[in-house]
């Protein structure tokens, strides 16, 4: 049996929408983009949504919208996909990492206050693996210090905190539609905001700095080409129409994993959600027992046709961050300790109970035998 780490879930609906585009003459900035953005607003209860070519691009535009200066500091998490803090570095802003909570692997709100300095200009949170951050404390701190909040919700479409959607708490929130995400456009991203100025700036920056109604070769800002194609938007529209079904199936699959882990008495822990958060399942992570030989476990699973991956290595220990900011081992001990023990198991919308049982049975053998 081969069980991949992830795979997209595409149906005839996606194929039909993409073919519609290919049969039209409009391949960029057309009606599919508009429909995708409109449905995104409705789904997320957001005022505005701007689709872009990637989550990274959307996050870059979100950082630009805060008008930060070289040398400014932004508080963020070291336990994330590297793009979340790279977007700060793009703008010569310093990512100031704050250690994480071991239970959810999200930024620890109790440690934020100590990291605030006279140069702090914003807080960029990441709802890691689709588990929403503890928004009460984070919103309280942001308003106490007058700091704008940016949300990297790339892994958290549909996640909620007290009924409010992840990505809609901050000045702007961003999503990704890379193929391993809950819904995909191949490559793609979305910025949501309730602020009309950020909305207009994002529309302009994505489209070479053009303004609405301006001439094709008239540019108000130094912009980018961060546009999403109509083919991608068509794919995204169909996926978004199926979001409820997709998230329901993923939640069931996560539940089955938990039941199997309990049933087989596998000595791993899973993430527990914070307070009143409702997760959106991006990946399924297990925390291995302390001092496990993770590489050997991964190798054992690979021999059985099961893909797994250590998720995430701490950002501050990546070569480029050590060199740029002199971060070292020991700087964020909880992050480092957890990052050494996390393993992502195969997880996708159409994973079958048989595949999951196969994974867990072998995970147990791998942990006990190696």
Ligand X SMILES: *Cc1c(COP(=O)(O)O)cnc(C)c1O
Positions in the binding site for ligand X (CB under 6 A): 54-56, 80-81, 83-84, 126, 152, 154-155, 176, 178, 189
How many whole angstroms separate alpha carbon 161 and alpha carbon 276? Answer: 6
Nearer to ligand X, 6 or 292 (CB): 6
User: Please, which residues bridge with residue 150 across strands?
Assistant: 124, 172
Two tokens, residue 121:
């200009």
Q: Is the peptide bond before 312 cis (omega within 30 degrees of 0)?
A: yes
Nearer to ligand X, 204 or 232 (CB): 232
CA angle, 202 then 58 then 351, to 5°: 145
Two tokens, residue 93:
């802003």
CA angle, 308 then 342 then 301, to 5°: 30
Q: How far is the CB of 155 from ligand X (least distance, A)?
A: 4
Angle between helices 230-241 and 12-22 (to 10 degrees): 150
Nearer to ligand X, 128 or 142 (CB): 128
Nearer to ligand X, 112 or 315 (CB): 315
Residues in contact with 64: Cβ distance below 8 Å, sequence separation at least 6, in sequence order: 91, 201, 205
How many whole angstroms separate alpha carbon 55 and alpha carbon 61? Answer: 10
Phi first, then psi, for residue 345 (nearest 5°) are -95, 165
Two tokens, residue 183:
């819904």
Q: How far is the CB of 81 from ligand X (least distance, A)?
A: 4
Q: How far is the CB of 56 from ligand X (least distance, A)?
A: 3
Nearer to ligand X, 178 or 327 (CB): 178
How many whole angstroms separate alpha carbon 182 and alpha carbon 127? Answer: 14
Q: How far is the CB of 366 from ligand X (least distance, A)?
A: 26
How many whole angstroms separate alpha carbon 96 and alpha carbon 71? Answer: 11
Q: How far is the CB of 159 from ligand X (least distance, A)?
A: 12
Q: How far is the CB of 360 from ligand X (least distance, A)?
A: 25
Q: How far is the CB of 196 from ligand X (least distance, A)?
A: 25
Inter-residue contact 250 to 356 (CB < 8 Å) = no
Q: How far is the CB of 54 from ligand X (least distance, A)?
A: 4
Nearer to ligand X, 105 or 260 (CB): 105
Closest CA to 147 of 119, 181, 127: 119
Nearer to ligand X, 56 or 168 (CB): 56
Q: Name the residue whose CB lies closest to ligand X.
A: 55
| Rg of the chain on CA atoms, in Å | 21
Q: How far is the CB of 86 from ligand X (least distance, A)?
A: 9
How many whole angstroms separate alpha carbon 190 and alpha carbon 56? Answer: 10
Nearer to ligand X, 84 or 232 (CB): 84
Nearer to ligand X, 131 or 176 (CB): 176
Two tokens, residue 344:
């992502």
């Amino acid at each position: 049996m081969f069980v991949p780490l992830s795979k997209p879930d595409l149906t005839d609906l996606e194929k039909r929408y993409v073919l519609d585009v290919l049969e039209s003459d409009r391949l960029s900035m057309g009606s599919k983009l508009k429909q995708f953005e409109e449905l995104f607003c409705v789904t997320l209860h957001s005022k505005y949504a701007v689709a872009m070519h990637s989550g990274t691009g959307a996050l870059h535009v979100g950082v630009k919208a805060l008008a930060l200066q070289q040398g400014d500091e932004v508080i963020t998490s070291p336990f994330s996909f590297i793009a979340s803090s790279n977007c700060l570095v793009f703008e010569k802003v310093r990512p100031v990492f704050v250690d994480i909570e071991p239970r959810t692997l999200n930024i620890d709100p109790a440690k934020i206050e100590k990291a605030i300095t006279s140069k702090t200009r914003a807080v960029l949170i990441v709802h890691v693996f689709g588990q929403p951050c503890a928004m009460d404390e984070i919103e309280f701190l942001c308003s106490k210090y007058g700091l704008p909040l940016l949300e990297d919700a790339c892994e958290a479409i549909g996640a909620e905190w007290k009924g409010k959607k992840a990505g809609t708490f901050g000045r702007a929130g961003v999503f990704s539609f890379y193929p391993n995400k809950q819904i995909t456009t191949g490559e793609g991203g979305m910025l949501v905001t309730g602020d009309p100025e950020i909305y207009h700036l994002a529309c302009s920056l994505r489209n070479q700095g053009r303004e609405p109604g301006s001439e094709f070769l008239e540019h108000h800002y130094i912009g980018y080409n961060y546009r999403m194609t109509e083919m991608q938007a068509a794919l995204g529209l169909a996926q978004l129409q199926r979001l409820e079904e997709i998230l329901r199936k993923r939640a069931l699959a996560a539940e089955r994993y938990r039941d199997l882990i309990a049933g087989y008495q596998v000595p791993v822990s899973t993430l527990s959600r914070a307070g009143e958060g409702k997760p959106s399942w991006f990946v399924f992570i297990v925390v291995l027992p302390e001092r496990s030989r993770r590489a050997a476990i991964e190798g054992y699973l690979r021999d059985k046709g099961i893909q797994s991956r250590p998720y995430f290595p701490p950002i501050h220990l990546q070569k480029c961050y050590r060199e740029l900011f002199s971060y070292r081992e020991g700087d964020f001990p909880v992050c480092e300790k957890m990052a050494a023990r996390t393993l992502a198991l195969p997880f996708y919308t159409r994973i079958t109970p048989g595949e999951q049982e196969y994974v867990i049975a072998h995970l147990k053998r791998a942990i006990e035998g190696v």
